[in-house]
């Protein structure tokens, strides 16, 4: 199941009582972020939490060589940045919009107020946070234990799940090659060779930066993921 590698916190708003959902939506302040615009930076103090209305956001840390290691990509409907608020610590990573996005901001004061007033929101957030730690552990295990070929295949499957619409036959992954390499923990040159092999084996099709998965079952086997 691909869910072991995705946070999937979209259910939080839908499962809230209407009173709590109305309160949240009332206090959210929407802001437009351009592609490649930072939302928050590792080491800074949080002033609130974020909710992705539309677009996509990458979450990453810098390794010892100064390269990005993408930890996660957020989809619309997901909350993020709340773990630092809950732990009263600085942000442990950096987030950047990877496409034009609309992101809602909720101040710490408003966030603490709904935590206090809504036991349902507190429970759902705790559930989401627990799942998030599990997902990160799974992703880190993949980076340390799988081959580059397996990691690229798995990340293509994860991204397919994030980009898919109602018609999965027309799902196109629109991530840059550098971001895809950073997700898989490799360099762009190595990624290009793996993608070439996948294309030659008719596992994927490419059109510029767009990637379409042609054979999910075989890619799943390549990823050594069942």
What band does 63 get if pLDDT is binned at 50, 70 and 90? confident
pLDDT of residue 226: 61
Residues 155 and 85 in one domain: no
> Do 119 and 9 fall within a single domain?
yes
Asked if 210 contacts 217 with a C-beta cutoff of 8 angstroms, the reply is no
pLDDT of residue 66: 81
Instruction: Indicate if the pLDDT at residue 129 is higher than 90.
Output: no
Which residues form the domain of 105?
2-143
pLDDT at residue 87 is higher than 70: yes
Say whether both 31 and 132 belong to one domain: yes
Asked if 126 and 193 sit in the same domain, the reply is no
Q: Do residues 117 and 177 both lie within one domain?
A: no
Domain harbouring 174, CATH code: 1.10.10.10
State residue 187 phi and psi, 5-degree precision: -105, 160
3-state helix, strand, coil in the chain (%, to 5): 50, 20, 30
Locate all alpha helices (DSSP H) within 164-210, ordered by sequence. Answer: 177-184, 188-200
Q: Identify any residues that bridge with 222 across adjacent strands, giving them in sequence order.
A: none
**Mean pLDDT score across all residues of the chain:** 90
Task: For residue range 185-199, list pLDDT tens digits in order.
Answer: 999 999 999 999 999
Contact in structure between 49 and 116 (CB atoms under 8 Å): no
Is residue 191 within 8 A of residue 149, CB to CB? The reply is: no
Question: Looking at the structure, do residues 126 and 151 belong to the same domain, yes or no?
Answer: no
Looking at the 3D structure of the chain, how many domains does it have?
2
Does residue 51 register a pLDDT over 70? yes
């Amino acid at each position: 199941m691909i869910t072991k590698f995705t946070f999937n916190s979209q259910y939080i708003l839908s499962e809230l009582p209407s009173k709590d959902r109305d309160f949240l939506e009332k206090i959210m302040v929407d802001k437009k972020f351009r592609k490649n615009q930072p939302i928050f930076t590792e080491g800074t103090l949080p002033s609130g939490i974020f909710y992705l209305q539309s677009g996509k956001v990458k979450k990453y840390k810098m390794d010892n060589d100064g390269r990005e290691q993408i930890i996660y990509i957020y989809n619309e409907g997901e909350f993020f940045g709340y773990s630092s608020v809950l732990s009263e610590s600085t942000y442990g990573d950096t987030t950047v919009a990877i496409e034009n996005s609309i992101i809602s901001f909720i101040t710490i004061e408003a966030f603490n107020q709904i935590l206090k007033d809504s036991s349902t929101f507190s429970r759902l957030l705790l559930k989401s946070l627990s799942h998030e730690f599990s997902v990160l552990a799974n992703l880190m295990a993949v980076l340390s234990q799988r081959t580059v070929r397996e990691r690229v295949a798995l990340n293509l499957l994860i991204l397919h799940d994030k980009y898919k619409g109602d018609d999965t036959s027309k799902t196109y992954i629109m991530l840059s090659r550098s971001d895809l390499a950073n997700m898989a923990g490799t360099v762009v040159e190595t990624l290009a060779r793996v993608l070439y092999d996948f294309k030659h084996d008719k596992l994927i099709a490419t059109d510029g930066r767009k990637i379409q998965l042609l054979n999910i079952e075989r890619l799943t086997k390549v990823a050594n993921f069942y």
